[in-house]
Amino acid sequence: MLNFNLKQMEVFEAVAELNSFSRAADELYLTQSTVSAHISSLERALDCQLFTRNARRRVMLTQEGKRLYPQVKTILGRCRGLLEEGEETEDCQLLLGASTVPAQYVLPQLLTDFLKQRPNSRYLLKRGDSAQICQMLHSGEIRIGFVGTMMEPQLLEYVPLVKDRLVLVTANTPRYQKFRSRGAYGRELLKEPIVTREEGSGTERTLTTYLRKIGIPEDQLNIVARIYNPEAIKQMVEQGMGVTILSELSVHDAVEEGRLLSFDLDAEGLERCIYMACRKDLAPNRLEQKFLSFVRK
C-alpha cells in the first residue's frame, strides 16, 4: 500500500527545482509549513532524507533525492498529460473582476497573451470600482480581481503587478502651459475646479490618503463633478470644466497627442500599485493556478 501521494511529489519537485521551501510555497500557493509537512511525510514514507542545506542555507537534493527526482518528474509528467487531455474537452472559464484602470489599460494585453497559451480558456470579466471588486470576491461572483488599492489584506492576498503614477491633468491651454513651463507641481493647482473619480475607486482612495498626508481636508477641494469613467473625465477636462487627478496609464495617449497636460503632484510623485487579488481561504482550480502563475511571471 502506498503511503505517499501526488501532492507530496509535486511539492518535492518544486523544492528540488527552486532550491527553496519558501519559493516552492509561493509557486504552489501553500504555506511554508505545509510544504515542510509534505516533504517530511514523503521522507517517512520512502525512509530516506531527500534534502539537506549547505553552508549558505540553500536547500539541496541528497543523493537519494537526486536518484528519485527523475522518477518523480516522469510520474508527474504523465499525470499532467492526463489532465491536459481532460482540459481539452472542458469549457474552462476564468471568473475575473477589475476596477477601471486595470480593466482598460492592463488586462487587455494580459488576457490576450494568456489566451494564446491556453486557447481553450474563456473569460467572464466584471467591472466595478475597487470596493465593488472586493465585494464580488467575497460573494464568489468572481475568483480573481484586479484593483488599484489594497482594502482587506487580512482576508485577500494581493500580488503587485505594475507601478502606476497618479498625475494632475489639465487642458492644454496657454494658462496651464505657463505653469508647465515654470516647472510647477500639480499640488499648486488643487484649488482649481476638480473633476474626480467616484468614491470607492482606487484612484480616489489614493488621492484621499495623499491629501491627508499634505494636510489638505478633502472638503476644501472645489469638486465640481464625480465621474465613473476616466474617458469622460478626460473629455470634460479637455473642454475646460476643471482639472483632475488620474492614472498616468489612462492619460498617456492624450498627453502624447497634446490634448492634455500632466503634472507630477510633487517632487516625489504619487505612485501606487495595480494589484491582482484573490481570497486567502479559497484554493485555486487548475486553470486559475495556471493563470495566477502566468500573471506572476
Percentage of the chain beyond pLDDT 90 is 47
To the nearest whole number, what is the mean pLDDT of the chain? 88
Mention every residue, 6+ apart, whose C-beta is less than 8 A from residue 251. 167, 169, 230, 234, 260, 262
Rg of the chain on CA atoms, in Å? 25
pLDDT at 218: 82
Helix (H, G, I), strand (E, B) or coil at 215: coil
pLDDT at 142: 94
On the question of pLDDT at 86 being above 60, the answer is: no
- Residue 231 to residue 84: CA distance in whole angstroms: 41
Structural domains of the chain, ranges and CATH numbers in brackets: 6-87 (1.10.10.10), 92-161+274-296 (3.40.190.10), 162-272 (3.40.190.10)
Q: What is the pLDDT of residues 215-260, one digit of tens each?
A: 988 888 898 998 888 889 999 999 999 999 998 988 999 999 999 9
pLDDT at 187: 92
pLDDT at 89: 45
Q: What is the pLDDT of residues 31-83, one digit of tens each?
A: 889 999 999 999 998 889 999 987 677 888 999 989 999 998 888 888 877 66
Mention every residue, 6+ apart, whose C-beta is less than 8 A from residue 130. 99, 147, 148, 149, 151, 200, 201, 202, 205
